[in-house]
Amino acid sequence: GENVEQHPSTLSVQEGDSAVIKCTYSDSASNYFPWYKQELGKRPQLIIDIRSNVGEKKDQRIAVTLNKTAKHFSLHITETQPEDSAVYFCAASRQNTGNQFYFGTGTSLTVIP
């Protein structure tokens, strides 16, 4: 099955700085890569996703990049705010073939005011 690794496990940044979280995956057939944000005691919620036919996607302060050859993808958060503090999970999935989503180990992001 798919193996998704995620780094770092914890990340602290000053408010206004950027944060970068990196993931690698093992299954070259994975073609959909979402990122989820989970606040304490809450359900995971999708913040951005990217498909394998795209190299980069941006949504306001959040961007995701994908390198299919190297099988890694990254989440970039610019101008961080205290409300960005949460645990972030990357995931990989083969859409249209099983569709199972496999998650990384998570990154606990703390934005220091």
Partner 1 sequence: SAVISQKPSRDICQRGTSLTIQCQVDSQVTMMFWYRQQPGQSLTLIATANQGSEATYESGFVIDKFPISRPNLTFSTLTVSNMSPEDSSIYLCSAQRGAGGTGELFFGEGSRLTVL
Contact between 73 and partner 1 by CB under 8 A: the answer reads: no
Contact between 96 and partner 1 by CB under 8 A: the answer reads: yes
The nearest distance, CB 72 to partner 1, in angstroms, is 18
Contact between 27 and partner 1 by CB under 8 A: the answer reads: no
Q: How far is CA 73 from CA 10, 16, 40, 41, in A?
A: 18, 23, 25, 27
Contact between 57 and partner 1 by CB under 8 A: the answer reads: no
Residue from 14, 60, 69, 99 that binds partner 1 (CB under 8 A)? 99
Closest among 3, 7, 27 to 106, alpha carbons compared: 7
Contact between 53 and partner 1 by CB under 8 A: the answer reads: no
Q: Are 37 and 44 in contact (CB under 8 A)?
A: yes
Give the DSSP per-residue string, 59-105. Answer: ETTEEEEEETTTTEEEEEE-S--GGG-EEEEEEEE-TTTT--EEE--
Cβ proximity to partner 1, 47 vs 111, nearer residue: 47
Which spans of this chain sit near partner 1 (rule: CB under 8 A)?
1, 32, 34, 42-46, 49, 89, 91, 93, 95-96, 98-106
